[in-house]
């Protein structure tokens, strides 16, 4: 039991003396309130039980025979109220509160941090792949344009006029006769170029 609830031990002789003093005070109070009619009857109920104790006042000495004695006056004595100490009732012990273990909390925090870091890395990789895909699409578009330009250039070089110009550049001349070979006999026929 904690020290705040421990009560001081009283001496038994002091307790007995205090009880006797209280009994004498109660007896004198009862005599003052009720009178000397019945001293042995305790007053536990009614308005007399809560009235403050009054000490009897002696009547003044009679100086003149024609004066009637005055009613006795009571002196009111106020006793301090004593606080009765009540023993504190035992309160039921509160339910034990389970404190989260540091290892569990640390594990949960590590799992959350790892998840966030994993999402960040995954997002970075996805964005990097998206940039790479965009670069490849751009490069494919440029290659398509280059292919189209080369096809256009090739078709221009394939024209008969262009072939004749290139042949003349290399020193080639047109023959006066054109020779044809007929198979299966192997017969050669020469025809003048103008007759074509």
Spatial separation of the C-alpha atoms in residues 102 and 175, rounded to whole Å: 102
Spatial separation of the C-alpha atoms in residues 103 and 116, rounded to whole Å: 20
**Is 63's pLDDT higher than 90?**
no
Spatial separation of the C-alpha atoms in residues 135 and 125, rounded to whole Å: 15
**Is 163's pLDDT higher than 50?**
yes
Q: What's the average model confidence in pLDDT over 173-190?
A: 83
Q: Terminal CA-to-CA distance of the chain, rounded, Å?
A: 134
Spatial separation of the C-alpha atoms in residues 174 and 95, rounded to whole Å: 116
Query: Of the candidates 154, 174, 190, which is a domain's last residue?
Result: 154
pLDDT in tens, 17-60: 988 999 888 888 777 766 554 545 555 555 555 555 555 555 55
pLDDT in tens, 107-118: 899 999 999 999
pLDDT in tens, 72-125: 666 666 666 666 666 667 787 777 777 667 888 888 999 999 999 999 999 998
In a domain, 112, yes or no: yes
Nearest to 52 by CA among 27, 21, 76, 31: 76
Query: What is the residue range of 118's domain?
Result: 103-154
DSSP character at residue 185: T
- The count of domains in the chain is 2
In a domain, 52, yes or no: yes
Spatial separation of the C-alpha atoms in residues 20 and 28, rounded to whole Å: 12
Q: Identify the pLDDT of residue 196.
A: 47
In a domain, 93, yes or no: no
In a domain, 49, yes or no: yes
């Amino acid at each position: 039991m904690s020290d705040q609830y421990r009560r001081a031990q009283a001496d038994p002789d002091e307790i007995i003396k205090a009880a006797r003093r209280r009994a004498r005070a109660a007896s004198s109070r009862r005599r003052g309130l009720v009178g000397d009619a019945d001293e042995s009857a305790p007053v536990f109920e009614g308005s007399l039980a809560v009235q403050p104790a009054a000490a009897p006042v002696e009547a003044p000495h009679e100086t003149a025979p024609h004066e009637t004695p005055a009613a006795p006056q009571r002196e009111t004595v106020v006793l301090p109220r004593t606080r009765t100490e009540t023993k504190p009732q035992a309160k039921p012990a509160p339910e034990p509160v389970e404190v989260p273990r540091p290892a569990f909390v640390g594990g949960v925090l590590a799992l959350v941090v790892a998840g966030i870091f994993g999402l960040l890395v995954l997002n970075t990789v996805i964005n990097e792949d998206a940039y790479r895909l965009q670069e490849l699409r751009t490069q494919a578009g440029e290659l398509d344009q280059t292919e189209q330009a080369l096809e256009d250039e090739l078709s221009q070089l394939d024209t008969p006029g262009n072939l004749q110009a290139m042949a003349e550049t290399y020193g080639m001349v047109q023959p006066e006769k054109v020779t044809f070979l007929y198979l299966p006999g192997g017969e050669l026929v020469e025809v003048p170029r103008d007759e074509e």
